Amino acid sequence: MYLRSIATAVPPNSFTQKSCWDAMREGDLLSTLKPRSAALMEKILMNGSSGIERRNLALDSIESSFGHGAEELNNSFEREAPPLASAALLEALRKSGRLPADVDALFICTCSGYLCPGVSSHVAEQTGLRHDVFLADLVGLGCGAAIPMLRAAQGFLAANPQAVVATVAVEICSAAFFANDDPGVLISLCLFGDGAAAAIWTGQGVEGDWQAGNFTTTHRPAEREKIRFVNADGKLKNQLHRAVPDLAAEAVAGLYALRQGEPDQVLAHSGGRDVVDALENALPFKLTETREVLRDHGNMSSPSVLFALERRLAGGNPDDKRLWLTAFGAGFAAHACELWR
């Protein structure tokens, strides 16, 4: 399948790591935590070693994320995810020179909230897609979901080569924010951001167009409990284990060995500083765009790898002929694909 355009969107409110810490320190949050928990958050937010400078969050203030119940959190996902996904999609359509009526199928991936009908139904309404557009929601694949979503889109285009397909990865990670003394919960509160990335694809192209394919996947069910969402009184609680960076690097290195060409750059999910460090130790590349996305937006879960792709393509590197994308997360699962022209 051939890439026609890619676009991203983030909420308008941007928060520096320092402003997040100041809000937590001046509010009531730290008083509810053990001193060790408060020290962990201060270390992540204030010592500059997280690799994150700021994050866009669908919040009016950091304080507004404290103390919400499960229903309030999911309501925020329902309120914020469709318009953010729609903004990314409309910009991708504009860049591709196409209209909403041209879209034959819409694939959306997310893991930070749940809607039935899915986010795709709301996005189709908000963007004015046709009533007969094929809608598909991929839910529960975690941070690695963007690449399986692209693989599903490739399957649709293989069966319908004349079609125009839109893909959107959207996460409102702030809709899963709450605080307790669990390290995984606290780390998530300090690292995750909100964002959406959309792309337009066709089954046919010409020489010089970017083509996507060579999809690969690995699943490690034995490692499932090391990184996943669990239900905590109806809330999505991020369960993280310290082994995740090494686990990700080992899985990604195995997929990289299956590549069909030598890439000019690797673009990866920006899971966090330690994850990116581990990936760079396992791969023969400096993950420049991945680190830039982490710096500017934090870990946005599934859209992150597509933010890195957009950044690379926007750089206009004339010598780029092949790119290798990888994303990973809950499952434990890792995925990869190649773009070439």
Q: What is the pLDDT of residues 28-54, one digit of tens each?
A: 778 788 989 888 888 888 877 789 999
pLDDT digits (tens, 9 = 90+) for 246-256: 999 999 999 99
Question: For 167-175, what is the mean pLDDT?
Answer: 96
Query: Is residue 262 pLDDT above 80, yes or no?
Result: yes
> What is the tens place of the pLDDT at every residue in 195-228?
999 999 999 999 899 999 999 999 999 999 889 9
pLDDT for res 107: 98
DSSP 298: -
Beta bridge partners of 336: 216, 326
190, two tokens: 């300090």
pLDDT computed for residue 127 by the predictor? 98
Question: Does the pLDDT of residue 109 top 80, yes or no?
Answer: yes
CA gap 179, 190 in Å, rounded: 10
pTM: predicted TM-score of the whole model, two decimal places: 0.95
Give pLDDT, residue 61: 82
Q: Please give the average per-residue pLDDT across 295-316, as a whole number.
A: 96
